[in-house]
Amino acid sequence: MDILRILIDFLKIYISPMVANGIPVVVSKFIKGRPLDRGKYLSDGKRILGDGKTVEGTIFAILTGTLMGAIIGILNYYSLQYCFTGFLGSLGGILGDITKSFFKRRIGIERGGMLPLVDQLDFYLGSTLFIYLCPICAHPSLDVFLFGIIIIPLLHLSTNYIAFKLHLKSVPW
């Protein structure tokens, strides 16, 4: 069935960036991370990134996402392609999230403030860009990518709501 093929292809490529995107919330509960921007401000008087983007969260995200990619690779006949896809997807995803925070600060949204759809799709678009720029990565077909555009915001909102209920996040988005 086509939808099953789309779902499997989607998971093989995007499970790593999805895990990478979720891990920092858990890490932040155990480690008080150091801000990536070292607490610095730009000339507009606002933080470069804010306290929501930490060194530890970023490192753990990339490591965990790459580990997921390695597992997917092993499950796919020891395919190195999925290992690279996991690494670049996680790196691109986390950089997408960081880029989003930079622009959120510039338009005056405080750390943790909501920016609908952008908050949900930042890592997805970042990971897709990086995966596409990598010639040896597994590339999603258009239907797989569009499936993600619909499913990611729904998944993101529901997992964040669960994280909020578990007291892992202070806001439900």
In the complex, the residues that contact ligand CTP under the rule CB under 6 A are 24-25, 28, 33, 50, 52-54, 57-58, 94, 97, 101, 104, 111-113
Rg, Å, the chain Cα set: 16
Kindly state the smallest distance separating residue 172's Cβ from ligand CTP, in Å. 11
Our CB check for ligand CTP shows the closer of 9 and 122 to be 122
Which residue has its beta carbon closest to ligand CTP?
57
Can you tell me the distance from the alpha carbon of 160 to that of 146, in angstroms, rounded to the nearest whole number? 22
Kindly state the smallest distance separating residue 11's Cβ from ligand CTP, in Å. 22
Our CB check for ligand CTP shows the closer of 90 and 128 to be 90
* Nearest partner of 79 among 9, 136, 19, judged by Cα: 136
Kindly state the smallest distance separating residue 39's Cβ from ligand CTP, in Å. 14
Can you tell me the distance from the alpha carbon of 131 to that of 139, in angstroms, rounded to the nearest whole number? 7
Kindly state the smallest distance separating residue 126's Cβ from ligand CTP, in Å. 12
Our CB check for ligand CTP shows the closer of 7 and 59 to be 59
Our CB check for ligand CTP shows the closer of 22 and 73 to be 22
The 8-class DSSP code of residue 137 comes to: S
CA pseudo-torsion sign 102, 105, 109, 110: positive
Those residues whose C-beta lies under 8 Å from the C-beta of residue 156, and which sit 6 or more positions away, are 119, 120
